[in-house]
Amino acid sequence: MLEPVLMVARLSKIIFLDEADALTNDAQGALRRIMEQYAETCRFILSCNYSSKIIEPIQSRCAVFRFRPLADSDVHQQVHHVAAIEEINLDDDAAEALTRISQGDLRKALTALQVSAALSNDVTRELIYETSATAPPESLHQYLKACRDDGFHSARRRLRELLDKYGLAGTDFVNQLHRELYSADFLSEESKLDLTEWMAEVDYRLVEGGGEQIQLDALTARLVTHLKQ
């Protein structure tokens, strides 16, 4: 008599690699060989911010899914929702700051909220900026105005205050200044174009290993010279 046989499909293991674009090319090459070796028993999921930093041999073996940044309204709604569940006092200004620094990345917004809530249950706009290594827009605008109106020494002092208070690295400062440049209504379009070109040059030199202090001082000097004209 034949007994019925139950066939059970072998389940694959799931391996999720976050921030895969942070791996060096050599490490990605080793990962590719591992993916090939265990293709029958494992399924690999790689998440990254920049797909261009994933080597082509890995990309060709994957189905690529691209996700757009969330809308500001969605981020704003979700941080309020999480704050309510966690019984965190979050005002609208703080939620707006979280939305601004997240740039559509909800994980970044929630991480900033978590860090701030660990220090105080009353999360304010100022606390958000101080704990997320992000300078508020008005502080960056004040730096630009100091370059225009007060001269090099005053502008350089304002720069040092920003770096120290908010814990900014050189590249962070340049990127944040670039982001807020276009909301600086007190600057002409021509000035914004010139400043963008100079910031790109400084950012490149910093990434290539240039000295942070001298590069930022050089940027400040160029801003003072140009904006005073």
Phi, psi (5° rounding) for residue 38?
Answer: -110, 25
CATH number of 137-227: 1.20.272.10
| pLDDT for position 136 | 92
Q: Provide the pLDDT confidence category of residue 229 given band limits of 50, 70 and 90.
A: low
pLDDT in tens, 108-163: 999 999 999 999 999 999 999 999 999 999 999 999 999 999 889 999 999 999 99
Q: Provide the pLDDT confidence category of residue 3 given band limits of 50, 70 and 90.
A: low
Q: Using CA atoms, how far apart are residues 112 and 130, in angstroms rounded to an integer?
A: 10
Phi, psi (5° rounding) for residue 76?
Answer: -60, -45
Asked if the model's pLDDT at residue 9 lies above 60, the reply is: no
Q: Provide the pLDDT confidence category of residue 7 given band limits of 50, 70 and 90.
A: low
pLDDT in tens, 79-94: 999 999 999 999 999 9
Q: Beta partners for 169?
A: none
pLDDT in tens, 33-90: 999 999 889 999 999 988 899 999 999 999 999 989 999 999 999 999 999 999 999 9
Q: Look up the pTM and report it.
A: 0.75
| pLDDT for position 12 | 82
Q: Using CA atoms, how far apart are residues 202 and 211, in angstroms rounded to an integer?
A: 10
- CA dihedral of 70, 207, 173, 227, whole degrees rounded to 10: -120
| pLDDT for position 1 | 46
Q: Tell me the pLDDT of the chain averaged across its residues.
A: 90
The CA–CA distances, whole Å, from 193 to 57, 175, 189, 196, 197 equal: 38, 15, 6, 5, 6
Q: Using CA atoms, how far apart are residues 212 and 43, in angstroms rounded to an integer?
A: 42
| pLDDT for position 176 | 92
What is the domain class of 72-131 according to CATH? Answer: mainly alpha
| Angle between helices 137-149 and 170-181 in degrees, nearest 10 | 90
| pLDDT for position 183 | 86
Evaluate whether 55 touches 25 at the Cβ level (below 8 Å). Answer: yes
Where do the structural domains in the chain lie, given as residue ranges?
A: 13-59, 72-131, 137-227
